[in-house]
A = this chain, B = another copy of it.
Amino acid sequence: MEPALDTVSAERPSQARPVYTENCPVREILDQIGDKWTTLILLTLAAQPQRFSQLMRAVPDISKRMLTQTLRNLERDGMVERTVFPTKPPSVEYALSPLGRSVLVPLGALVAWADSHHAAIKAARREFDGVR
């Protein structure tokens, strides 16, 4: 498999080449992870498997529509497993799959970075907005 990160090319050290072109699978994945809810759901499920209504409460401002949609996409990508218990009324539990747990490592690192640097970013913004 090709390495994704086509950075400085040895043959042409002064010229960067295109990195990710249009139908790049890495782009696709990043796009989904970067959508409004996916990361939040993954982080919430990291704590423990949870039912639909628990997730609704854990992510206070998500709509049923978007929760369903996000969960379906995650299930489709093999990151989340969905289990239906035939109680009445039915209850459904969502849990991270091994793949889902594995993405949590780099994702958690990114969240940790955001948490420890958001003060610096806020300061940079004030500076920038003040200057111009």
Contacts and interface: CB of A to CB of B under 8 A. Distances in A.
B125 A76 contact: yes
A17 B121 contact: no
Nearest to A115: B4
A36 B28 CA distance: 10
Contacts of A106: 106, 109-110, 112-113
Interface residues on A, range: 35 or more
Interface of A: 1, 3-5, 7-8, 15-22, 25-31, 33-36, 39-40, 43-44, 46-48, 50, 54, 57-61, 75-78, 99, 102-103, 105-125, 127-129
13 contacts: A7-B46, A18-B58, A18-B60, A25-B118, A25-B121, A30-B39, A75-B128, A76-B129, A78-B121, A102-B117, A106-B106, A107-B110, A110-B110
